[in-house]
A and B are shown apart, each in its own frame.
Chain A
Amino acid sequence: MRLSLDLNPQLPPWARLTHPVLRSVLQRERRRRTPAGRVLAALVGGGMVLGMLYAGVDAYRRGLALGVSSQGESPVFSVLYLLLLCLQLFAQFAALLLASSLLAGARQRESWELVRVTSHGAEMAVWARWAAVFFQLRWVLGMLMVPRLFFAARMLAGVADYHGHQLDLAIMGITPGVSIEAAIGLLAALMAAALVQPVVIVALNAAAGLLLAVVFGGGRLFQVARTVAVVAQAGVFGVALSSGWVVLNGDPLSPAYASMSTGERWSSLFLLAVGGDQSLRFMNLQTTLRAWADVEYGVLLGAAILAVVLVEALLAGGVVGWAARRAGRPVRA
Chain B
Amino acid sequence: MGRWSAALALGVWIALAALLAGARWLGQQAAAPGFPLPQADGCWQGVCFLDLAPDLIPATLNAHPGVVPGSARRVVNPAAPGEQRVRFLVRQGGRVYAVELVHDAASYYLAPEAPWLRLGDVVTAWGAPERITLLADQIGLHYPAQSLVVFVLHRGAGTATRLAPSDAVVGLAVLRREPAGAEGRVYYPPSSGWRGFGVYHFED
Enumerate chain A interface residues (CB-CB to B < 8 A).
Answer: 10, 12, 15, 72, 127, 130, 152, 156-157, 159-174, 180, 184-185, 187-189, 191-193, 195-196, 199-200, 203, 252-253, 258, 286, 290, 293-294, 306, 309-310, 313-318, 320
Contact = CB atoms under 8 A, between A and B. Distances in A.
B27 A313 contact: no
Given A163-B28, A166-B165, A173 B196 contact: yes
A253 B199 contact: yes
Contacts of B8: 196
A203 B1 CA distance: 10
A314 B32 CA distance: 46
24 contacts: A12-B4, A162-B118, A162-B165, A163-B30, A163-B32, A164-B26, A170-B165, A172-B123, A174-B196, A184-B17, A192-B9, A195-B12, A196-B5, A196-B8, A199-B5, A253-B199, A286-B166, A290-B164, A293-B196, A293-B197, A294-B198, A306-B9, A313-B9, A320-B2
Given A196-B8, A253-B156, A253-B161, A12 B1 contact: yes
A136 to B, nearest CB: 17
Contacts of A164: 23-30
Contacts of B75: none
B124 A167 contact: no
Contacts of B160: 253
Interface string B26-50: 1111101100000000000000000
Contact of B2 (A180, A290, A294, A313): A313
A303 to B, nearest CB: 10
A270 B106 CA distance: 52
Contacts of B118: 162
A319 to B, nearest CB: 9
A172 B196 contact: yes
A159 B27 contact: yes
A293 B161 contact: no
Contacts of B197: 169-170, 172-173, 293
Contacts of A169: 120, 123-124, 165, 197
B158 to A, nearest CB: 8
Contacts of B26: 160, 164
Contacts of B166: 72, 286
Nearest to A162: B120
A171 B24 CA distance: 14
Contact of B9 (A15, A196, A294): A196
A192 B13 contact: yes
* Of listed B1, B6, B28, B29, residue having the most chain A CB within 10 A: B1
B156 A72 contact: no
A156 B9 contact: no
